[in-house]
Chain A
Amino acid sequence: QLQLQESGPGLVKPSETLSLTCTVSGDSISSSSSYWGWIRQPPGKGLEWIGSVYYSGSTYYNPSLKSRVTISVDTSKNQFSLKLSSVTAADTAVYYCARRLAVVGTYYFDYWGQGTLVTVSS
């Protein structure tokens, strides 16, 4: 059974860089059948897709965040990571990692991590 688990600091200072890691178990992150992504949810609000990465390192991002986001993959550790720079209080959210199938047209997320709350505050 595929499982995803987020990890990283729960508190980040304004203007600094938020860094999170998602550890994948139950499947290889190098599987050609999956894309790996990050989605966030501000407290009491809806979901926002941040970006996705393929095991090859190919990425695509939400245009609204693209200038501040970097998503990378570490196949040796079966992990992928999110970096969000120049954070403000508006970046306070629960951050989820998730998987979608690497099949044309299947751009929905079928496996999710439990989520991790990141608060931006001095």
Chain B
Amino acid sequence: IVVTQSPATLSVSPGERVTLSCRASQSVSSNLAWYQQKPGQAPRLLIYGASTRATGIPARFSGSGSGTEFTLTIGSLQSEDFAVYYCQQYSNWPPWTFGQGTKVEIK
């Protein structure tokens, strides 16, 4: 399954609401996770099951979608949220596949 994220880069101002997209080449039901990666760090699990926040993840992060179309929304962008975001499908394996990432940068 090919996972495609858009856009590749998003330039936003702190406090703005941000929506990132992830599309799967075939249905993955709700078997989709989102990760955040900051420079020089490992990815951090944000969302699993398309919409369930992982432990300790702030409520401003929310996920939605099912089938082939998914979104990650950051309600009000904080300075610590500037990072690259990846989605991962875990419906059909092997292999589990990741998107190429969306970079959220400061406008």
Interfacial residues, chain A to chain B (CB-CB below 8 A): 45-49, 60-64, 96, 98, 105-110, 112-115
- Complex CA distance for A110 and B99, rounded to whole angstroms: 17
With A106-B48, A107-B31, A112-B42 already in contact, 10 other A-B pairs whose C-beta atoms are closer than 8 Å:
A46-B100, A47-B35, A47-B43, A49-B98, A107-B93, A107-B96, A108-B45, A112-B44, A114-B41, A115-B42
CB distance from B48 to the nearest CB of A (A): 5
Question: 30 A-B Cβ contacts within 8 A?
Answer: A45-B100, A46-B99, A46-B101, A47-B35, A47-B43, A47-B86, A47-B88, A48-B98, A49-B95, A49-B97, A49-B98, A61-B94, A63-B94, A63-B95, A64-B95, A96-B42, A96-B43, A105-B31, A107-B31, A107-B90, A107-B93, A107-B96, A108-B48, A109-B33, A109-B88, A110-B45, A110-B48, A112-B44, A113-B42, A114-B41
CB distance from A17 to the nearest CB of B (A): 21
**Inter-chain contacts of B100 with A (CB < 8 A):** 45-46
Distance between Cα atoms of A107 and B97 in the complex (Å): 11
In the complex, per-residue mask of B64-107: 1 if CB is within 8 Å of any chain A CB, else 0: 00000000000000000000001010100111111111000000
Contacts of B88 in A (CB 8 A): 47, 108-109
Q: Considering only CB atoms and an 8 Å cut-off, how many residues of chain B contact the other chain?
A: 22
Q: Which residues of A contact B97 (CB under 8 A)?
A: 49
Chain B residues with a Cβ under 8 A of chain A: 31, 33, 35, 41-45, 48, 54, 86, 88, 90, 93-101
Q: How far is the CB of B50 from chain A (nearest CB, A)?
A: 11
**Given A47-B98, A60-B94, A61-B94, A114:B43 Cβ within 8 A:** no
A107 to B88, CA, bound (A): 9
Compute how far the CA of A96 lies from the CA of B45 in the bound complex, rounded to whole angstroms.
Answer: 14
**In the bound complex, what is the Cα–Cα distance between A13 and B101 (angstroms)?**
30
